[in-house]
Amino acid sequence: MADDKAPAADAAAADAVAEPEIEEETLFDAPERGSADELLDAGAHDELDAMRHSTAHVMAEAVLDLYPGTQLGIGPAIADGFYYDFKLDRPLTPADLAKIEARMAASIAADHPFVRRELPPEEGRAFFEERAQPFKVEILDDLAAKAKASGSPMPPTSIYEHGPFVDLCKGPHVASTGKVGPFKLLAVSGAYWRGDQTRPALQRIYGTVWPTQEELDAYLWRRAEAKKRDHRRLGVQLDLYSFHDVSPGSAFWHPKGQLLWRTLEAAMRELQARNGYDEVSTPILVSHRVWQQSGHWDHYRDNMFILDIEGQPFSLKPMNCPESTFIYRSRLRSYRDLPLRYAEFGRLHRNELSGALSGLTRVRQFIQDDAHIYVRPDQLQDEITGLLGMIRESYGWFGLEPRYTFATRPDDAIGDPALWDRAEAYIKGALDAAGVPYRVLPKDGTFYAPKIDIYIDDALGREWQLATIQADLTMLPERFDLTYIDEEGKPQRPIAIHRAIYGSLERFIGILVEHFAGAFPLWVAPVQAVVIPIADRHVDAARELVGVLAGRGLRAEVDDSSNRMQYKIRTAQEQKVPYMVVLGDREVEAREGTLRRRGAAKDEPQVTLGWDALADRLAAESERRTVA
RNA sequence: GCCGACAUAGCUCAGCGGUAGAGCAGCUGUUUCGUAAACAGCAGGUCCGCAGUUCGAAUCUGCGUGUCGGCUCCA
């Protein structure tokens, strides 16, 4: 299954990165999701977070002042900023944000100190009752219930005051509103109280705040840059893919996009072949009996597309793993057969909520570079070591630096704890042997497997999870009764490794487009070189040169339009083609071409080479699979 | 799925009750040019769909579809 998770934007990314440098005072246990503790914990785990959270208070002050009667939800610090949830009578508009910003600036200029006060619990509750803040009252009631349940006394109600504004809050805060740095309100959106659809709908205002103007500007620049690089936009501009309402959540791949896809796929196939993989392909449309056996029918059915076929329920596969076992079981396996490595570029369908669909990163159908590897327990560590090597090599093709997390046995794990311990020891051994830094996420494994997740940061510093390696002890091996015959002729259970390296090809391509802003390295670029004849009389030679380049496996085109050379260069630049080869009288005469690099500076010296030398040079660079 | 916004030419957008517009791209012609936009002309639209209000709807209303920002979900 090798499931790739799309980190749900900033929130999840923040979760993943939040490893605060801790001082005893601000040390928090991760509160339970949706708990009153979590609602109180404003995410202020260091000084910057404290400032962000304080800015949320200042914003709440402004909103309360401008729109009396507003009910306050919660207002934590998040990655890059903060938000606050409000219950208001009418929807907020961008014009409102400007007004709120102005009011905030006034509060900051007034430099109100933040004052912490503690009230006895009953008084605290009455305090927020009086101020008609039912959400705050609810948080306090929850805390009281929790205290009662655990037999501990209800702690005092801590409130923070600054100027006219008071909020229920655990803190900490900066000393005064004047310590709030340069900020900007970014967006308003909807959110439910406690993330629960059945609870009141609130309006959430997002903002960002930084210690210095330079940092704020840099952040806003990154946001603007991210928008410019948006793969949905660049995909149209570079003619790679498009989306159409006849198939929401699925891309239509244009010739250049498909070329890009095939290039990535071919590289992975080549890597897999070098590492002892076999490739398989299993049906997309499968009886529900498979999913009953795997457990998906009970746990994942809502995400599956189910069809009625002659009265029998079938489904489009959301994962490849269960079907891979049919190939494993198609004959008796010996201990000598293992490891068996089955790669599958399988097309998967998952019924994502319509509101969650987005470009290539959140789709309803996609293809994973999936594999299922069946090993003996004693082979697990070496296999994982090998996988870490493959990941490092392939990410290197794109200049990406992998980072690792190791998630261990959760409380609801199935299977023999002793086996878990062994598997975890092997994974740890492999990670240590690889000499890579990694973070342990205790109890964060899937219920059937400890796992390694691999993350990268893109060119704009955004974190993405790509690869995953899961050591499945029970789901495939036991539910599908997989065995191999050992040296003594006895049946034994193999371990199944689920892994993906790119993850979903769709998502990977979306990330690459944004990472490179569409300017792919030579080996990836769908069109690697455009040959530019200066005048019509050079077109025949240009075509001939394209033939020479194609003969060396390069993807090249001629621009034989009637435009001037300048215009052709501009077009090639806009299409982010890595190389242009200019042909004029001088070059045609000598069977040469003048090489122009994408993005070349005006005064950059250019080389003129003979056709074969040119082809050699580009082919060598392309075959190296490096970023330029 | 839920909350909010949006949907006009291939693309980016203007028009917001009275005959549908621009730039780029496209096509045709002229130009044959040395490193990021030659010149001229032509063509291009179920103004997302369906209903309604109105003498008249791209424009107002309702429903549907899709997209975007979030929420939610993520074996």
pLDDT at A183 over 80: yes
d(CA A117, CA A115): 6
Q: Are A580 and A596 in contact (CB under 8 A)?
A: yes
- Catalytic residue, chosen from A370, A453, A472, A559, is A370
Q: Please provide the DSSP assignment of A446-497 as one string.
A: BTTB-EEEEEEE-TTS-EEEEEEEEEESSHHHHHTT--EE-TTS-EEPPEEE
pLDDT > 90? residue A501: yes
- CATH fold of A241-510: BirA Bifunctional Protein; domain 2 (3.30.930)
What is the percentage of chain A residues whose pLDDT exceeds 70? 93
Task: Quickly name the fold that domain A529-623 has.
Answer: Rossmann fold (3.40.50)
CATH code for the part of the protein at A24-228: 3.30.980.10
> Is A103 an active-site residue?
no
Query: What's the mean pLDDT when you consider all of chain A?
Result: 88
The burial of A520, by beta-carbon neighbours within 10 Å (0-12 exposed, 13-18 middle, 19 or more buried), is given as: buried
DSSP, res A334: B
Within chain A, all domains assigned CATH 3.30.980.10 are found at 24-228
**Among A139, A157, A155, A136, CA closest to A147:** A155
Nearest-5° Cα angle at A297, A296 to A302: 90
Q: Are A416 and A363 in contact (CB under 8 A)?
A: no
Burial of A492: CB neighbours in 10 Å, binned 0-12, 13-18, 19+: middle
Which region among A281-290, A303-312, A363-372, A412-421 has the lowest average model confidence (pLDDT)? A412-421
pLDDT at A13: 30
Task: Express each pLDDT in A515-545 by its tens digit.
Answer: 999 999 999 999 999 999 999 999 999 999 9
Every domain of chain A with CATH number 3.40.50.800 lies at 529-623
Q: What is the DSSP letter of A406?
A: E
Spanning CA of A237 to C1' of B22, the rounded length in angstroms is 21
DSSP of A28-73: -PPPPTTSHHHHH--S--SHHHHHHHHHHHHHHHHHHHHSTTPEE-
Query: Which segments of chain A belong to CATH 3.30.930.10?
Result: 241-510
Least confident of A224-228, A324-328, A365-369, A589-593: A224-228
Whether the pLDDT of residue A107 is over 90: the answer is yes
| Residue A14 in this model has a pLDDT that exceeds 50 | no
Among A45, A229, A350, A555, which one carries the catalytic annotation?
A350
Q: Which of A57, A136, A372, A507 is catalytic?
A: A372
Dump pLDDT digits (tens) for A57-80: 999 999 999 888 889 999 888 888
Q: Is residue A370 among the annotated active site residues?
A: yes
Residue A43 C-alpha from the chain's centroid: 22
Residue A213 has pLDDT above 70, yes or no: yes
Residues 6+ apart with CB under 8 A from A21: A46
- pLDDT at residue number A518: 95
User: CB under 8 Å to A296, separation ≥6 — which residues?
Assistant: A304, A318, A319, A322
Average pLDDT over residues A197-219: 89
Question: Does the nearest atom of strand B lie within 7 Å of A273's Cβ?
Answer: no
pLDDT tens digits for range A466-483: 999 999 988 899 999 999
Chain B positions with a protein C-beta closer than 7 Å: 1-5, 11-12, 26, 30-38, 65-75
- Report how far apart, in Å, the C-alpha atoms of A248 and of each of A255, A300, A336 are: 20, 21, 47
More confident residue, A25 or A32: A32
* pLDDT number for residue A10: 28
The whole-number pLDDT of residue A544 equals 96
Handedness of CA A511, A513, A519, A521 (dihedral sign): positive
| CA A97 to C1' B17, whole Å | 32
pLDDT attached to residue A43? 56
The whole-number Å distance from A237's CA to B48's C1' is 22
Q: Which residues in range 157-196 of chain A are in contact with strand B, contact meaning CB within 7 A of any of its atoms?
A: 187, 189-192, 195
**pLDDT tens column, A548-596:** 999 999 999 999 999 999 999 999 999 999 999 999 999 999 999 999 9
